[in-house]
Amino acid sequence: MKLLLLEDDETTRVHLERVLTAAGHVLDVCDNGRDAIFLGSSGDHAVLILDRMVPGLDGLAVLKALRAAGVRAPALFLTAMNGVEDRVEGLEAGADDYLAKPFAATELLARVNALARRPPIAETVSVLEVSDLSLDRIKRTVLRGGNRIELQAQEFKLLEYLMLHAGEIVTRTMLLENVWSFHFDPRTNIIESHVSRLRAKVDRGFGRELIQTVRGAGYRIDDV
């Protein structure tokens, strides 16, 4: 499996390179953001492993650039910044998971393998539809009544997850684990604020509201 590794610290980079190659992976390795964007733009990596704090163009800037270029490979951030706000910022940029330093090699390999097991977009339903709302998972576009709606990366992931479970109740725990990759409750209004912003973009001005709150249970998107 081919991976992209961005890590500016030489000791850490050499260690990770040994761990990953010993596990049978092929690596493109770089120590700066510009090289990471150049290598990553090829689109042939199964997983992107990006150090969050790199001088100059950091991992966050790299991921934003690659996502804007259409690179959809799952991304794992390596970081010493493990506060909820930092995780949210990375996830908003399109990251799929976070791994806080220091970490065990076994955990890194487990996270990489888990991300790589996610089915490629091309092997899944590419366009999701609920009523007059459509979401294209390949083009990363959202339309309501033929009108294009601009969403941030995390808003897109939230809407995508709701639409994948259209007609079903989606709980807070399900959203935290599958949209934010949180395996704990951060005790913030992160879900409520994102749902509110999503409703403002997807439902407001279109007459019928598709995103519903199911009191005491969670959320549901439906056309009834």
pLDDT of residue 123: 44
What is the architecture of the domain spanning 2-117? 3-Layer(aba) Sandwich (3.40)
> What is the chain's Cα-based Rg?
18
Distance CA 158, CA 201 (A): 13
Nearest to 53 by CA among 114, 19, 12: 12
Task: Write b or e for each residue in 103-124: b if 16 or more Cβ atoms lie within 10 A of its Cβ, otherwise e.
Answer: eeeeebeebbeebeeeeeeeee
Nearest to 71 by CA among 180, 153, 175, 177: 153
Do 58 and 36 contact (CB within 8 A), yes or no?
Answer: no
Distance CA 90, CA 153 (A): 10
* Beta-carbon contacts of residue 106 (< 8 Å; ≥ 6 apart): none
Task: Specify which residues 170 forms β-bridges with.
Answer: 219
**Mapping DSSP to helix (H, G, I), strand (E, B) and coil, where does residue 213 land?**
strand
Question: DSSP class of residue 119?
Answer: P
- Can you list the positions of beta strands (E) in the chain? 2-6, 26-30, 47-51, 75-79, 97-100, 127-130, 133-136, 141-144, 147-149, 211-214, 218-221
Q: What is the pLDDT along the chain (224 residues), one digit of tens a residue?
A: 999 999 999 999 999 999 999 999 999 999 999 999 999 998 889 999 999 888 888 888 999 888 888 888 899 998 876 666 766 777 777 778 888 888 889 999 998 998 888 765 444 567 899 999 999 987 889 999 999 999 998 999 999 999 999 999 999 888 988 888 776 676 778 899 999 999 999 999 888 899 999 998 899 999 87
Max Cα–Cα distance, the chain, nearest Å: 57
Domain ranges of the chain: 2-117, 127-221
Overall CATH class of domain 127-221: mainly alpha
Nearest to 5 by CA among 65, 90, 76: 76
